Amino acid sequence: MERILVIGCSGQIGSELVLELRGIYGNHNVFATDIKTPPLEISESGPFQILDVLDYKNLLHFVVRNKITQVYNLAAVLSSNAEKIPLQAWDINMRALMNTLQVARKSEAKKLFWPSSIAVFGPSTPRHNTPQLTIMEPNTVYGISKLAGERWGEYFFTKYGVDFRSVRYPGLISYKTEPGGGTTDYAVEIFFDAVKNNYYECFLSENTTLPMMFMDDAIKNTIRLMEADPEKLSLRSSYNMAGISFTPKELATEIKKHKPDFSVVYKPDFRQKIADGWPASIDDSIARKDWGLIDDYDVKNMVDHMLKKIDEKLNTKQ
Ligand code: AKB
């Protein structure tokens, strides 16, 4: 029986992943932790504890005491926040990873998921249909930490037998918990502002193409990778994951089909430079072949779903 620890359960990915894992493995076998209080449905549906991933001793005790067999470590400072505190962000992102790698090495929790990102690529990377293996010269602290992390993950797999698994997430779009401090966050904010105000001020220019994925697809693929036969995994760094590519203008046009009065003003800020260094589209054929990556959502049904769910969420709050 698997006993799973999710670190970062209060964040955008964690708050949805925990519930999905509890549905599959049983509520009491999925331990949710964070340094922040999670949504009620997480703390009420199974075990939750405040736990700081940077506290190595406590983390190791927790894993041993609860007989954990797999860990999802989702703790990170995202790209735009990291640019404001570069040294601190490097320290947090790397120590969070190194602590979980060491815990995996020293305990029975050998299987470790850690998210990488399209931020591992940089301005010198081919921008279109970016290959799995290519030039990688990230110029953000977040991207540098993700690339270094991928190398460490593969190293711990080869040297110590840690069952390290990872995907390079594109921007993730969800309505349950909003992201914080990312460059792709516009693609979530735009929906909330469309429903609340019929107006959005976008921090990226209208023609900035970035790869994105709806959260349901991201969660499905993450669990799929974790459940995949280890023999089939040809990569132990991190798999490209493409999702769907669009610009802010294309997204706004799709939203306008539901809300004809919706308007957007484009005021690019420092995040534009980060986005300009990232791929416009990604080649994820290796993930499709190795462990069956799938995506069910295109821009149209993602927009339908987001607007409907945010409408329900905001109206039930009032
Ligand atoms: C960010 O924008 O920092 C993240 C990412 C693409 O990793 N959403």
| Percent of the chain whose predicted confidence (pLDDT) is above 70 | 99
265 burial class (0-12, 13-18, 19+ CB within 10 angstroms)? exposed
pLDDT tens digits, one per residue of 155-184? 999 999 999 999 999 999 999 998 889 999
Task: For the domain covering 4-170+214-229, report its CATH number.
Answer: 3.40.50.720
Q: Determine the Cα–Cα distance for residues 210 and 140; give it in Å rounded to an integer.
A: 16
Section 223-238 average pLDDT: 98
- State the pLDDT at residue 54: 98
Q: Is 92 helix (H, G, I), strand (E, B) or coil?
A: helix
- State the pLDDT at residue 315: 85
Q: Determine the Cα–Cα distance for residues 127 and 256; give it in Å rounded to an integer.
A: 28
Q: Give residues (CB < 6 A) around ligand 1.
A: 78-79, 117-119, 142, 169, 171, 182-184
- Selected catalytic residue, list 25, 56, 142, 186: 142
pLDDT tens digits, one per residue of 239-275? 999 999 999 999 999 999 999 999 999 999 999 999 9
Q: In sequence order, what DSSP letters do the residues of 169-202 get, joined into one string?
A: E-EEE-SSS---S-STTHHHHHHHHHHHHSEEEE
Examine the residue annotation and report whether 297 is marked as an active-site residue of this protein. no
pLDDT over 60 (residue 318): no
pLDDT tens digits, one per residue of 78-130? 999 999 999 999 999 999 999 999 999 999 999 999 999 999 999 999 999 99
Terminus-to-terminus CA distance in the chain, angstroms?
A: 42
Section 203-221 average pLDDT: 98
- State the pLDDT at residue 179: 86
CA–centroid distance, residue 182 to ligand 1 (Å)? 5
CB proximity list for 36: less than 8 A, separation 6 or greater: 10
- State the pLDDT at residue 316: 76
Which ligand 1 atom lies nearest to the CA of residue 117?
7
Which ligand 1 atom lies nearest to the CA of residue 118?
6
pLDDT tens digits, one per residue of 176-207? 998 889 999 999 999 999 999 999 999 999 99
Q: Is 72 helix (H, G, I), strand (E, B) or coil?
A: strand
- Domain boundary assignment for the chain: 4-170+214-229, 172-212+243-317
12, 121, 184, best to mutate for ligand 1 pocket (most atoms within 8 Å of CB): 184
| Percent of the chain whose predicted confidence (pLDDT) is above 90 | 97
Q: Measuring from atom 7 of ligand 1, which residue has the nearest CA?
A: 117
Nearest to 121 by CA among 111, 109, 110, 135: 135
172-212+243-317 carries CATH number 3.40.50.720: yes
Which ligand 1 atom lies nearest to the CA of residue 170?
6
CA–centroid distance, residue 79 to ligand 1 (Å)? 6
Q: Measuring from atom 8 of ligand 1, which residue has the nearest CA?
A: 171
pLDDT tens digits, one per residue of 266-282? 999 999 999 999 999 99
